[in-house]
Structures are given as structure tokens and as C-alpha cells.
Chain A
Amino acid sequence: MTILGEIALWIALPVALWGAFVSFIGGQRGRSDLVLSGERTVHVVTLLLVLTSLGIIAAFVGNQYEYRYVANYSNRELDTYFKVAGLWAGQRGSLVFWTLLLSVFSSIAVYTNRRRNREFMPYVSGTLLGLLTFLLVVLLFADVNPFERLGFTPANGRGLNPQLQNYWMTIHPPTLYLGFTAFAVPFAFAVAALLTNRLDSRWIAVTRRWILLSWFFLTNGIIFGMRWAYVELGWGGYWFWDPVENASLLPWLTATAFLHSIQIQETRGMLKVWNMCLVVVTFLLTIFATFLTRSGLIDSVHTFAENLRIAYIFLGFMGGLIAFSIVLIVYRLPSLRSENHFQSFLSRESAFLFNNLLLVGVTFAVIWGTLFPLITEGFFGQKINVGPPFYNRVNIPIGLSLLALMGIGPVIAWRRASPRNLRRNFTVPLAAGAGTLGALLTLGIRHGMALATFSIAVFVMTIVVIEFWKGTTARARIAGEGAFRALASLVKRNRRRWGGYIVHAGVVVVFTGLGGAAFDARVEQDLVPGESMSLRSALGTEYRLEYESLSHSRPRVADDVRENDWRWTALLTLYRNGERAGIMRPERRIYPVMGEASTEVGIASTAFEDLYVIPKDVDLDSETDMVTFEAKALPLVPWIWYGGLIVTIGALVGMWPGGRVPVRATARRPVSRDAVPGGHRAVASTP
């Protein structure tokens, strides 16, 4: 199976190259047979990459350590579960996985458009196959062939990095990769639109759902990554501006900007060049993310740091893509002229524009911070990392402005808003925000950013709730429907708008959760069984942890390496406000094969806060079973995950198929328009 996978990888390269070539030629010369050949190629490449991936998985599951990749990322003791996930555990496999997902999305794009958007399709398949060809060249010729053999067969592999041995390993990377690779399809359509000079609203209508899909996966991928960091890295945080975290955030930021600015293009025919640039930039940032993760140029918890050749290849490819995109856009500038202009500073357009500027501002700040070590190394010969303080100082104020805009944008009218309707719409939400601020100040909270976060969050949430309330009552009164039915039909008739509002509500909840970080409380103490430690959270909960006992699974013979890991498990009883609230079992693990230690933290959640227990150190030599525990009370952290869930629901509402209202039978019959009495009444009668 493994050898078949290797053969499939080799066949895939010439096939993809052929497909890219005939697709472009077929489109240009109008050779429909070549176009069909190109489209078949897309599916064939997908099939071949499925075989390749199965080959790698078979090598992992079959313990074939003669392969360098398998030997480096697995061992006999590893659960089968993680062996399958070995496909994306290291640089080589994850490049294959990336390529596989790209080909699957390419196949879906080609299949769903087999009868639609035909003018675009030769160039769409050509572009996608071109990308696939590049990735296959990298896989086969950049020292990252997953099927490279060692020349001998070790008795066992080196094992998987302990931090990857977590169930999120099977969820987070695939989700993020789905987001990254799905964005290649909008890029391909943008290229096709530019090449064919069909720059009307069509390419946007076609790609919008793809972009939403990619955004959906990116959002979830990022949140899953935060969750993983939170439960696995053992320091009580979920985000520390690591280069690879940044890399996943960058395309998300520009994709978010695009999802907003696209609405200006649709309703007002403006910002066409800007939107085109956003699609290209977002796609480039997904490639940049691959490059950053896979090259090892920048230190990160994620990097696999294997070779630099691949870094240069990726840099060259990105340079080529940038040049190609700029030339195409400049060449088509005449077709991308704006049809309208801004009528007023106080309008939804300008709110969207500000939103875009701020999102791009964050993007630049994050790119700058991420590349800063490289820049300083280039100029001063020394890598200087910028830490979280830099990002927080720049991004928190911008983030809060974005949060405020999320409230202002939806209520302000298109084109122009009068002071009177601003007053009418903003009085209640502003009062709610100010009330929150007052209440928090009265409670003695003086943390500036936290005060701003919570007040703005209440302001925005009030607006979202009022929007739903007003929309539902209007619909209920006008259509004479009950409240629930009115809400359902309101959302169904404009999924994008109301889905968007749900996403906004989710983001508000996430921001509130992030704001909770201002009030973390912690205590660190050495305990022997029978002793206890106490902690009071910012929300006033009294926690007491009673250390009961320590159990361990260390084998009798010290150098016996039959187990994947040895575990020391502390048993603690948790008391919340004096009442017994359960037991916690944080662990210290040592992975003998890798020679590494890791921590499995204990987390006790309530709706408003988490108690987070880290066994920092276990005294292995003494007989006392003494453990150094760190306990943290983290207010509002659970809200980040709740918010993420709400965002997911909103995104699903927004992209659910069948956004149109059901059509009645009479309308389904193909009738000539003149025969429909009263058709176009609403429009025809206006002055």
C-alpha cells in the first residue's frame, strides 16, 4: 500500500502539469476537449493524492520505520489514533495533507460548476492545477518527500511530540487546513475573472459562499487551536502571539475584511480593485501561513524546522504569485472602475470602510511583529522577538474600535444617516454601555481596557438584540405572524444579514471572555498529601484544593521503555465556596522515548470561570509525594468557547444553502414575463 502511495505521488506530478497546461490552452483556444481533459485531471489528482495519503497512514499503522518520516513521528507504543493523525504530525506529511485538501476542494469546485460558470472553468481548473503542481514539485524535489527511506530499519521510531498527543491533534490542524485550502478556490475564480475580463458581479456571487466556507473553517480552526493551547500547554493561556498563531490569524483578518467590503461592491458597485486585492492577499497569506509553518525560518512551538531549501522555494513562489496578481489587476484596471462614490461620512459604507481599514491595520501590525525577528536579523545580525506586549498595545485598541464598529455598522443606514435617526437608534445602546461602565466603576474595577471591553460589548450586544427585536416585531405586525414564526422567516429571507448579526453576537461574547484575562488570580504552593491551598477568584468564588494522594505508573525497571508515557497523577478534592465540588486529576507525564515531560492540567469550569490546576513539579526522589501546584482562577474564559460556538452557528446560518425563499408552484412554470399579471408591480409603479 505504501509503495503504491509513493507511485501515485510520482504519477500525480506529470498529470497535474498536463492538466494545468491543457486547461489554460483549452480555455484560450476554445478547445472544449482539452478543457474536459483538464477537468478530469483535477479528479484524477485527487484520487492519486488519496492513495498517497493512505500510503503514508499505512506506513504509520504498519510501523514501517524504514521511512524517515514515520521513524521521526511515531513509535510502536503510540495509539493507533495518533498514528493515523501522523499524516499531519510533521512537515512532510502535513504538506501532503495540505495538497490533498486542496485537490479535494478543487474537485468539488469543478464538479459543482460542471454546468455553471463555464466561461471561468478552464482558468479555474488551470489555476488550481498550477497550485497543485507547485506543491507536488515541492513534495518530490525539496527534500521533504514523505517516502524517503533511511537505508536501514530502526527497531522503533522516535515517537510523537507529547504536546501533539492530545485529541485536539485530530481536530485542530485539519480544520485550519480546510480553511486555508478552501481559499484557493476564490483565488482561482478571481484569476479566471481577471483573465476573461468578466469582472461584473458574477465572480463575487460565485466565490462568496466559498469564502464564507473558508472563513468558517479558519474561525473554527483558530478557536480549536486556542482550546488546544489552553488544555495542553499548561500555562492557563490560549493565545500568545506565536508566529504560527499569527499566520492563521492573518488570512482570517483579510477574509473578514473581504466579507464586509464585498457588500459595498454588491450594493454600490464600489471598491472593486480593493476587493480583488483582498482576495489575492488573503490567498497569499494562506500560502504565507504554510511557508511560515513549514519552513522553520521563525521559531515557534509549531515549527518543524527541517530545511531551508523549502523556505526559498516558497518565497520564490509567493514572489511570482504577487507579481502575476499585480500585473493582472493593473492590466484590468479599466474594468474595475467604481460605479458610485461615497455620499456621506455617516453611512454604512463608511462604517464598512473603517472596518476594512482597521482589519488591514491589525494585519499589518501582526505581519510586522511576526517578521520582526527576520528583519532585525537581516539588518543587525540578531533575531529580536517582539512579545505579547507589542501585539497587545497595538491590537487591543484596534480590536476595541472594531468591536464598537460592529455595533454602529448595522444600525446606520446605507448612503447617508441623519442625526435624528442616529439619536433614535443609539440612545438606548449608548445608555446601556454607559450604565455598564458606571456599574463596573462602582464595583471598584479600574482596569482601563477591561472597562472599555465590557462597556463596548454591552453597547454592541444591546444593538444586536434590538435589531432582532425590531425586525421580528416589524415582520410579525406586517405579515401578521406569531413572534417565533416571524423571527424564523425574517432570518430565512436574509440569512446573510441575520447570520452576520449572530456572528457579531458571538464575537462580542468572545471579546468579553478575552477581557476576563484582566482579572486572573493565581497561587503557587508546594503540597504533600493532606495539605490544601486556597484561592479567591475575581468574581468572589472561594476555592480550596485538598491534595489527597499521588499515584504513578512508572515501571519498576527504570530503563524499561514499553510504555508511551509514564504518568504521575495527583488526586485533589475541590471545594467551591466551602462545598465539595468534585475531584481533579492533573498529571505530570514523562515520555521516555522522546525524553520529554509534559503536563496535563486539571480544569474545573463553571458558566463564568475556570479553575485551572497545573502540577508544575513532582518531587520524584523523595518519599513524601510532594507536588508543586499552581492554581489559577480565570474569569470568563468559558465565554470564549461559548462565543466561538455562537460564531459557528451564525456562520452556518449565513452560508446554509437555499437562501432563497421557497418559490410557489405558479412561479416555477416557465412562463413569459408579460404573462404574469402584476409582476414587477412594486418597481414599475414607483416614480
Chain B
Amino acid sequence: MTVLIGGVLLAAGVVLFILEPVFSGRSAPLYSGDDDYDDSAARRRIALTALRDLEYDRATGKLDSNDYRQLKAELSREALSHLQRDDGAGDGGESAMERASRDLEEEIDQLRSALREGMLCPSCEHLNNVGARFCGRCGGALHAEEGRAPGVGS
């Protein structure tokens, strides 16, 4: 008998709970609103991540300078195009995605200025310490990269 009562109570509770929204008009949001996913912001972040990895690939000697330049131009164009679309979409608060993108930009900035300051040997592409004047591997003079690579703010 107790079991039967328990079962009936359980069923009644369940039915009430799942039907309540229909009667009371309570509802779940159908759109995400403010924190909506923004495809172009996401793509920008991905392009920026690729750009950041590109800088690392360059710094660790995975890429030749020609390939580096070409890929950099392509990826930057991609990131920039999504930036423009993004800007047109409206403003307001900064989303998590945008924050992440900005952090990436700062990191890229840091990487590029480090590379620009001549840490990467122009002849043997060895990565030197900040402030070094001669390459630790081949002994060649550093600071030649500055004029060649289209750096930040140039």
C-alpha cells in the first residue's frame, strides 16, 4: 500500500513538474541574447591563434622567411576581414571571445617586437637572447632583420 501511494505521488510530482511551464507560462529562452556566439569573432580568434603559432614557428625555425611572410599576410587578411565584419555587427560589452582575441594580439605583438629587435639571426635563423648583438651560433651581427620584416607599427 505504501509502495502504491509512493508510486502515485512520484508520478503526480513528475507530471506537475514537467507540465507546470505550459500552465504558468514560464519559459526557457530560445535565443542566447548578450552572450551569443559570434562566428566572425570565433574565426578571428582562430586566425589570431594561427598567427601566434606562426610567430612561434618562425622563431623555432620551422618556416622560411618567404613562407612566413606569405602566410602572415594571408592570416592577417583573414583576421582583419573578420574584425571588420565584427565591428559592423554592433558594439556593447566585450565578449569572452573578444578578450581572448585581444590577449592573442598582445602576445603576437610581444613576439613580433622581440623578433624585430633582432633576436632571430638573419643568416642562420638561430633564436638569440634579447639584447644580444651577435648570433650565439654563427657569430654574425644581429639587428639586420629590422628593416626587412614588416613589423608592428611600421
- By beta carbon, the residue of chain B nearest A113 is B32
Given contacts A32-B27, A117-B37, contact A682 B105 (CB under 8 A): yes
With CB as the reference atom, state the residue of chain B lying closest to A478.
Answer: B114
| A residues in contact with B49, CB < 8 Å | 494
Q: Which residues of A contact B (CB under 8 A)?
A: 3-4, 7-8, 11, 15, 18-19, 27, 30, 32-37, 39-41, 44, 48, 51, 114-119, 121-122, 200-202, 205, 266-267, 411, 413-418, 420-421, 424-425, 470-471, 473-474, 477-480, 493-494, 497, 660-661, 663, 667-668, 670-673, 676, 679-687
Q: How many B residues face the partner with a CB closer than 8 A? A: 81
Q: Complex formed: what's the CA distance from A198 to B82 in Å?
A: 18
Enumerate the 5 nearest inter-chain pairs by beta-carbon distance, A residue then B residue, closest first: A32-B27, A670-B93, A686-B76, A36-B28, A7-B7
Q: Which residues of B contact A (CB under 8 A)?
A: 3, 6-7, 10-11, 14, 17-22, 25-33, 35, 37, 39, 42-43, 46, 48-51, 53, 56-57, 59-64, 66-67, 71-74, 76-77, 79-80, 83, 87, 91-94, 96, 98-100, 102-103, 105-112, 114-115, 119, 127-130, 150, 152-154
Please measure, in the bound complex, the distance between the C-alpha atom of A541 and the C-alpha atom of B96, giving whole angstroms: 58
- Are A414 and B130 CB-contacts (below 8 A) given A44-B14, A201-B43? no
Residues from chain A with Cβ under 8 Å of B87 in the complex:
673
CA distance A478 to B31 in the complex (A): 43
**When the two chains form their complex, are residues B46 and A267 in contact, meaning their CB atoms are under 8 A apart?**
yes
What chain B residues lie within 8 Å of A667 (beta carbons)?
94, 99, 102-103
Residue on A with the closest CB to B105? A682
Task: Let me know if A682 and B112 touch, CB within 8 A.
Answer: yes
Q: Which residue of B lies closest to A475 (CB)?
A: B56
Q: DSSP class of B's interface residues: helix, strand, loop or mixed?
A: helix
**CB-contact partner of B103 in A4, A7, A421, A661, under 8 A:** A661
Given contacts A32-B29, A471-B56, contact A477 B10 (CB under 8 A): no
B2 CB, nearest partner CB in chain A, Å? 10
Partner of A679, one of B11, B30, B105: B105
Bound-state Cα–Cα, A474 to B7, Å: 66
Identify which of A118, A471, A682 contacts B108 (C-beta below 8 A). A682
Closest to B40 in A: A200
Is chain A's interface secondary structure helix, strand, loop, or mixed overall? Answer: helix
* In contact, A11 and B102 (Cβ under 8 angstroms): no
- Rounded to whole angstroms, the CA-CA distance of A415 and B78 in the bound complex is 14
The answer to whether residues A411 and B62 also contact, given A4-B10, A8-B10, A672-B91 and a CB cut-off of 8 A, is: yes
Chain A residues with CB under 8 A of B67: 413, 416-418, 421
Q: In the complex, how many angstroms separate the beta carbon of B105 from the nearest chain A beta carbon? A: 4
Q: Given the complex of chains A and B, what is the CA–CA distance between A200 and B42 in angstroms?
A: 10
Assess A470 versus B60: contact at CB under 8 Å? Given A121-B28, A478-B119, A683-B79.
yes
**Interchain CB contact under 8 A, A32 and B46:** no
CB distance B32 to A117 under 8 Å?
yes
Question: Do B21 and A34 have beta carbons less than 8 Å apart?
Answer: yes
Contact residues in B for A7 (Cβ distance below 8 Å)? 3, 6-7, 10-11
Q: Output the least CB separation between A383 and chain B (Å).
A: 46
CB distance from B39 to the nearest CB of A (A): 4
